[in-house]
């Protein structure tokens, strides 16, 4: 038995999650005003997110982000807002509705029980 959980994010939340993760990791951020977000689904890479930006001089720049980075950013986004995310689940993103991306998580229903801690047995002398 497996359980499937889904959390749906709009474009603004996806971009906020992406920017917050890049800031936290001290990675370079593109400069400009966000003009739009587009999702492309491919068989091998999953959902690729393209963010279009316009700088102060009118030049348009695009940033393409792989599905794994967006999924990690969305997990961070949820954890920062105290939304519970199961640690042992498989996570990926899907573009189901236009303008939204969905973080999907599957949990295996058969949890393995932890072994009890070892007991000390007194040895007779």
Model pLDDT, residue 70:
93
Model pLDDT, residue 77:
95
Model pLDDT, residue 25:
92
Q: Is residue 113 part of a domain?
A: no
- Partners of residue 53 on adjacent β-strands: 34, 61
Model pLDDT, residue 124:
73
Q: Is residue 118 part of a domain?
A: no
- Cα gap 25→12, rounded to integer Å: 20
Q: Is residue 121 part of a domain?
A: no
Q: Is residue 125 part of a domain?
A: no
Model pLDDT, residue 125:
64
Domain holding 18, by residue range, is 2-108
Model pLDDT, residue 57:
87
Model pLDDT, residue 111:
59
Task: Compute how many other C-beta atoms are within 10 angstroms of the C-beta atom of residue 51.
Answer: 21
Instruction: State both tokens at 26.
Output: 């001290």
Q: Is residue 31 part of a domain?
A: yes
Q: Is residue 114 part of a domain?
A: no
Model pLDDT, residue 26:
92
Q: Is residue 27 part of a domain?
A: yes
**Consecutive 10-residue averages of pLDDT for the chain (125 residues):** 89 93 89 89 83 89 91 94 90 87 84 67 69
Task: Compute how many other C-beta atoms are within 10 angstroms of the C-beta atom of residue 69.
Answer: 16
Q: How many domains would you assign to the chain?
A: 1
Model pLDDT, residue 18:
93
Q: Is residue 35 part of a domain?
A: yes
Spatial strand order of the sheet with 33-42 comes to 33-42, 46-54, 60-65
Among 66, 54, 110, 111, smallest CA distance to 92 is for 66
């Amino acid at each position: 038995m497996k359980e499937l959980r889904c959390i749906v994010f709009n474009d603004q939340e996806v971009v906020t999650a992406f920017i917050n993760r890049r800031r936290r990791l001290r990675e370079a951020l593109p400069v400009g005003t966000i003009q739009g977000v587009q999702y492309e689904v491919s068989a091998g890479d999953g959902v690729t997110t393209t963010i279009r930006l316009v700088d102060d001089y009118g030049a348009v720049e695009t940033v393409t982000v792989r599905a794994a980075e967006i999924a990690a950013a969305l997990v961070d986004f949820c954890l920062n807002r105290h939304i519970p995310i199961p640690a042992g689940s498989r996570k990926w993103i899907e573009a189901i509705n236009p303008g939204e991306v969905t973080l999907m998580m599957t949990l295996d229903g058969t949890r393995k029980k932890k072994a009890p801690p070892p007991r000390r047995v007194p040895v007779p002398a």
